[in-house]
Copies of this chain bind each other. A is one copy, B any other.
Amino acid sequence: MTEARTAYDEKLESILRTAAQIFAEKGYHQASIRDIARATRVSLSGLYYYFSSKEELLFLIQDHAFGTLDETLDRLLQGVEDPIRKLRLLMENHLRYFVNNMAEMKVLSHEAESLTGELRERVNARKRRLTERVMGILEELDPGNGIDLRVATFSLFGMMNWLYSWYRPDRDLPVERLAEDMSRLFLGGFLRDGSTVPAAALEAAPGEQNPSIWRSQTD
C-alpha cells in the first residue's frame, strides 16, 4: 500500500475544500475559476496543474464526498442485521456528513446535473448504489402498509437532502437530535399500520383543480 501523502495531495485537497465552499455559495456555473484562484491564492493558470477543467474540479469534489460517505457507511453497517437499526445508522451517517460538511453536501445535492458525459455517469452510479441500498433496507422492513417503495425512498432522501436549504448549525438542533427527530418522523410513518392513521389524513381533497398554473392557451 503506497500511502504516500505528498505535498501535491495536500494542496489538491485544500483546493477542493476551498472550491467546494465557493461552489456552495455562488453555485457551480456562477463561480468562476478566477474566484477559486483568488480564494486559494493560486494563480488562475496554476490551478490547471491540479485539474484539467472546471468540470473535472466539480467531479473531484463530488466523487470525493460520495466516496467518503459510502466508505463510512460500509464500515458502519458491517455485521448489523436488524433493518431498523441499519436504516437508523444510515440516516445518522448521512445527516452527520451533511452537517459536518455542508458545503460539499450542498454541491452534491444542488449540482447533481452540472456534470455531463462520463463524469456525470460515474457520480450517478455512486448515487444509484446508495439509493438501492436504502430501497433494499426498506424492502426488508416492509411493514405491508402499501406505501410505494420509490415514494418512501425518495421521501427519505428528500427530507435529508433538503437540509442544505434551511439548516443553520447555530440555531437548529445538533446533529444527534436532528437524526433522532427525523428517524422518528420517517420510521414512525413508514412502520405504522395504515389503519391507525386518522381518517382525515387519508381522505382526498374534493374536486379537480386547474391542472396548469397558466391560463389555457390556443396554440
Contact = CB atoms under 8 A, between A and B. Distances in A.
Interface of A: 5, 10, 13-14, 16-17, 27, 29-30, 64-65, 68-69, 72, 76, 82, 84-85, 87-89, 92-93, 96-97, 100-101, 104, 110, 112-114, 145, 147-148, 150-152, 154-155, 157-163, 165-167, 172-173, 176-192, 194, 196-198, 200-205, 209, 211-215, 217, 219
Specify how many copies of this chain sit in the oligomer: 2
B184 A148 contact: no
Given A27-B29, A213-B101, A194 B184 contact: yes
16 contacts: A5-B215, A10-B215, A13-B214, A13-B217, A76-B205, A87-B201, A93-B205, A93-B209, A101-B213, A104-B213, A148-B172, A148-B173, A158-B158, A183-B197, A183-B202, A188-B192
Nearest to A172: B150
Nearest to A82: B200
A27 B113 contact: yes
A80 to B, nearest CB: 10
A158 B163 CA distance: 8
Considering the complex of A and B, which 7 residue pairs feature the smallest CB-CB distances, nearest first? A158-B162, A189-B189, A188-B189, A185-B189, A188-B192, A68-B213, A84-B200
